[in-house]
Amino acid sequence: MADTAARLYLITPVLEDSSFAPRLAEACGAGSVAAVLLRLAPADERSLINLVKALAPAAQEHGAAVLVSSDGKADLANVAARGGADGVHVPGDPALVRELRERLKSERAVGVGAIRTKDDAMTLGEAGADYLLFGEPRPDGSLPSLESVVERASWWAEIFETPCVAYAPSLDAVEPLAATNAEFVALGDAVWTHAEGPAAAVKAAAEILERQEATR
């Protein structure tokens, strides 16, 4: 069981260039952001490395770890290492997770999403994942029900040591997900499309998490 408040994990839109850096800096500058997942559009390896070099400092300078993902064929481990990211994030493939764990050793994190079943989650945890992400949008943009994500995160957080991240499609979902004892609550569009800007969204989410901790 987690004995501290869940921390924030931000997921960017799919990025093709470095123009997102100011918004990323604004969000992370609001404080309380533990990690950021840079979702990179498919490109050649050199372009992805340069993009990570341009974007990562906007988060890292505010104390957030930066992970990278991409649906392309580029070598993510190489992109992360040469681009200066803190880790990689991949879909739930145990063989891939084991390979990345072997290559990255303990120097960089390996995060996993797109997890379908509880059995898959356990297999991925055993394969060496540093965290599991539950409830993020599917490739077609649809979302699992909030109830199912709460159930899955609660189950995982109660039994397993490997941290989990629970995806909140809205700020309203932050409180019930934090109550699962998940170590991290992830936010995507809820931050980037917030009417008052990313910093306001991050501050609002952080306040919810602080209130949640105070009631434990």
Domain ranges for the chain, please list them. 7-214
Q: pLDDT tens for the chain, 216 residues: list them.
A: 445 789 999 999 999 999 999 999 999 999 899 999 999 999 999 999 999 999 999 999 999 999 999 999 999 999 999 999 999 999 999 999 999 999 999 999 999 999 999 999 999 999 999 999 999 999 899 999 999 999 999 999 999 999 999 999 999 999 999 999 999 999 999 999 999 999 999 999 999 999 988 877
Q: How far apart are CA 182 and CA 194, in angstroms?
A: 24
Q: How far apart are CA 43 and CA 148, in angstroms?
A: 34
Half-sphere exposure of 83 (CA within 13 A, CB side): 32
Name the burial class of residue 190, with classes exposed (0-12), middle (13-18) and buried (19+) by CB atoms within 10 angstroms of its CB: buried
Judge contact between 5 and 212, C-beta under 8 A.
yes
Residue 68: strand pairing partners: 38, 88
Three-state DSSP class for residue 89? strand
Task: Return the closest-CA partner of residue 206 out of 8, 4, 63, 23.
Answer: 8
Q: How far apart are CA 44 and CA 161, in angstroms?
A: 36
Three-state DSSP class for residue 193? coil
Crossing angle of helices 146-159/118-127, nearest 10°? 40
Tell me which amino acid residue 10 is: L
Residue 195 backbone zone (phi > 0: left; psi -120 to 50: alpha; other: beta)? alpha
Domain 7-214 has CATH 3.20.20.70: yes
Structure tokens at 129: 């994942």
Q: 8 vs 119, 144, 164, 196, CA distance in Å? A: 26, 20, 12, 18
Please give the pLDDT value at position 29: 97
